[in-house]
Amino acid sequence: MDRIIGRKEEKKQLTRAFLSKNSEFIAIYGRRRVGKTFLVRTFFTQKKCIFFHITGIKDGKLHDQLYEFTRILEATFYGLQVRLKEPTSWTLAFELLTQTIKQQNFQQNVVLFFDELPWLASQKSGFLQALDYYWNRFWVTMPNLKLVVCGSAASWMIENLLHHKGGLHNRTTYRISLAPFTLGETRAYLKSLGISYTDRQISDIYMVMGGIPFYLNFLNKTLSVPQNIDHLCFNKKGPLVDEFNILYASLFHQSEAHQEIIRIMGKKRQGIERGDLLKLSKLSSDGGTFNKRLKELETSGFIISYTPFGHKKRNTHLQIVDEYTLFYMAWIEPALGTISRIDQVNGYWIEQSQSPSWKSWSGYAFESLCFKHLEKIRQALGIHSSAAIGNWKYIPQKGSNEEGTQIDLLFDRNDGVITLCEMKYTASPYKLTKPEAQAFLRKIEIFKKQTRTPKQVTIALITSQGIQDTIYAQDILSGTVTLKDLMKGE
């Protein structure tokens, strides 16, 4: 039985690498807690192979890393029947590993898994230089050897391995960027845990912690969604209460600067222009440093960059898309004072989840959720993959009598149509009333007037609970998308 939920494309790549008649060098990266180690360990331990797995020790001294390496080598290749002397460098460690593999002449695949590579390859450790030498000199000629390296600091992995300027340049044969679970994968994962939530309940959970398997694993199937959120986020010992600082500190050097950027962006839920963000940032005032930190945040999956419809490429906008980050800043952090004073804020989230503030905030969170599932939206609306995706807004000049508007999502299609998308997060099927239908039509009019597009402009609706069948819905909407559409195919 396959214990891996979802990850269809990643499993295909790992299977191709495993069955290959050549040596393979696989690099896997993705944010902390996303399931990289589980994927690699579970996939290969289900195969007939020798599996060597070492995990770097955070801030570990070279001696400690090499001691751990030696003990794992003993257990993997000798069954603890041989006691080896610890090497004093990674060069000697890899020489010992190489000779062990050659001497035993394995007929099956040997998988070398170096987990948390940035911790193993600390500054002055000599790890990358040794890896460079032994891959290019010996391991690349061993067809049954499969090298897998993994790291949570995605930006480090890209800069120091994938874009390496030395001997490791272009040596990786597979590159896997492991993303959080989609909604459909989240539903499947919760089902594997014995949790049967409705689509709406799953989306509520997703808007709090995203599709992070490690976080989802904390859910208690005997509790309701609000009770689980209370327990995990508003309990003094809740695992998600202090995860924010741990998360950023584990991924980024000088993480205070990254947090500053995130906090500025958090006040602009609909995105912020790059230049405006730079002006407000005090810890990243230098352009080069600022760009590097933005790249690190985007590579790690916390933010996205985009160019609004009709804008030039230099007018880059940025937006937070990490669900836990958004929820922490909006809800957990403001309650930390109360949480620290008492063990359990009983019923806090049950009350908050019924408040107007949550209903307003969840609307924005649903928009972020939709941006994580653009391919599902496109498929549900029957829009070809060639369509450009963007957003747009118009702010009239001061003193003007013109009406402004904002389009959070649009598809600029090659068939002469632009589809504008409205997103509505409701507890019951959405009812399109006459005033709202008129507001939709005004959006289309303003968009056509200000962009001067010659294309046909239509409007579609993305809802959490579907839509009531009314005359206005039939007349105005070109299509609808529901949570069921977003969860299809998993």
The pLDDT tens digits for 423-448 are 999 888 999 999 999 999 999 999 99
pLDDT band at 345 (very low <50, low <70, confident <90, very high): low
pLDDT at 46 over 80: yes
Higher pLDDT, 311 or 115: 115
Give pLDDT tens digits for 279-290: 998 877 766 788
pLDDT at 251 over 90: no
Mean pLDDT of 234-245: 92
Residues spanned by CATH 3.40.50.300 within the chain?
Answer: 8-177
| Tally of CA atoms within 13 A in the half-sphere of 65 that contains its CB | 25
pLDDT at 178 over 70: yes
> Which amino acid would we find at residue 406?
Q
Instruction: Return the top range by mean pLDDT from 37-51, 343-357, 363-377.
Output: 37-51
- Mode of pairing for the β-strands spanning 49-55 and 109-115: parallel
The whole-number pLDDT of residue 470 equals: 85
| Alpha-carbon span 229 to 350, nearest angstrom | 9
pLDDT at 455 over 80: yes
pLDDT at 154 over 80: no
Q: Domain 374-486, what fold?
A: Trna Endonuclease; Chain: A, domain 1 (3.40.1350)
Please, which residues bridge with residue 114 across strands?
54, 149
The whole-number pLDDT of residue 146 equals: 97
The whole-number pLDDT of residue 1 equals: 63
Mean pLDDT of 379-405: 89
The whole-number pLDDT of residue 313 equals: 66
pLDDT at 169 over 70: no
Mean pLDDT of 14-20: 97
Residues spanned by CATH 3.40.1350.10 within the chain?
Answer: 374-486
In three-state form (DSSP H/G/I as H, E/B as E, the rest C), the secondary structure along the chain is CCCCCCCHHHHHHHHHHHHCCCCEEEEEECCCCCCHHHHHHHHHHCCCEEEEEEECCCCCCHHHHHHHHHHHHHHHHCCCCCCCCCCCCHHHHHHHHHHHHHHHCCCCEEEEEEECHHHHCCCCCCHHHHHHHHHHHCHHHCCCEEEEEEECCHHHHHHHHHCCCCCCCCCCCEEEECCCCCHHHHHHHHHHCCCCCCHHHHHHHHHHHCCCHHHHCCCCCCCCHHHHHHHHHCECCCCCCCHHHHHHHHHCCCHHHHHHHHHHHHCCCCCEEHHHHHHHCCCCCCHHHHHHHHHHHHHCCCEEEECCCCCCCCCCEEEECCHHHHHHHHHHHHHHHHHHHCCECCCHHHHHCCCHHHHHHHHHHHHHHHHCCHHHHHHHHCCCCCCEEEEEEECCCCCCCCCCEEEEEEEECCCCEEEEEEEECCCCCECCCHHHHHHHHHHHHHHHHHHCCCCEEEEEEEECCCECCCHHHHHHEEEEECHHHHCCCC
The whole-number pLDDT of residue 227 equals: 93
To the question of pTM greater than 0.75 for the whole model, the response is yes
pLDDT at 344 over 70: no
| Alpha-carbon span 382 to 375, nearest angstrom | 10
pLDDT band at 316 (very low <50, low <70, confident <90, very high): confident
pLDDT at 155 over 90: no
pLDDT band at 254 (very low <50, low <70, confident <90, very high): confident
Q: Domain 8-177, what fold?
A: Rossmann fold (3.40.50)
Q: Please, what's the b/e burial string for 50-71 (b: 16 or more CB within 10 A of its CB; e: otherwise)? A: bbbbbbbeeebebeebbebbbe
Burial group, residue 74, by CB count within 10 angstroms (0-12, 13-18, 19+): middle
pLDDT band at 140 (very low <50, low <70, confident <90, very high): very high
Contacts of 445 (CB under 8 A, 6+ apart): none
Cα separations in angstroms, 419 against 326, 327, 474: 28, 30, 16
Closest CA to 28 of 110, 132, 138, 113: 113
Contacts of 370 (CB under 8 A, 6+ apart): 377, 409, 421, 423, 462, 486
Higher pLDDT, 163 or 415: 415
Mean pLDDT of 451-464: 95
Closest CA to 388 of 319, 469, 455, 474: 455
Mean pLDDT of 169-190: 91
The whole-number pLDDT of residue 270 equals: 78
Higher pLDDT, 406 or 313: 406
The whole-number pLDDT of residue 343 equals: 64
The whole-number pLDDT of residue 417 equals: 96
Residues spanned by CATH 1.10.10 within the chain?
Answer: 181-372
pLDDT band at 376 (very low <50, low <70, confident <90, very high): very high
The whole-number pLDDT of residue 49 equals: 95
Mean pLDDT of 82-92: 93
Q: What is the mean pLDDT of the chain?
A: 90
pLDDT band at 220 (very low <50, low <70, confident <90, very high): very high
- Quote the crossing angle between the two packed helices 356-371 and 199-209, to the nearest 10°: 90
pLDDT band at 474 (very low <50, low <70, confident <90, very high): confident
Architecture of the domain defined by 181-372:
Orthogonal Bundle (1.10)
Cα separations in angstroms, 318 against 278, 422, 440: 11, 20, 26
The whole-number pLDDT of residue 163 equals: 76
pLDDT at 459 over 70: yes
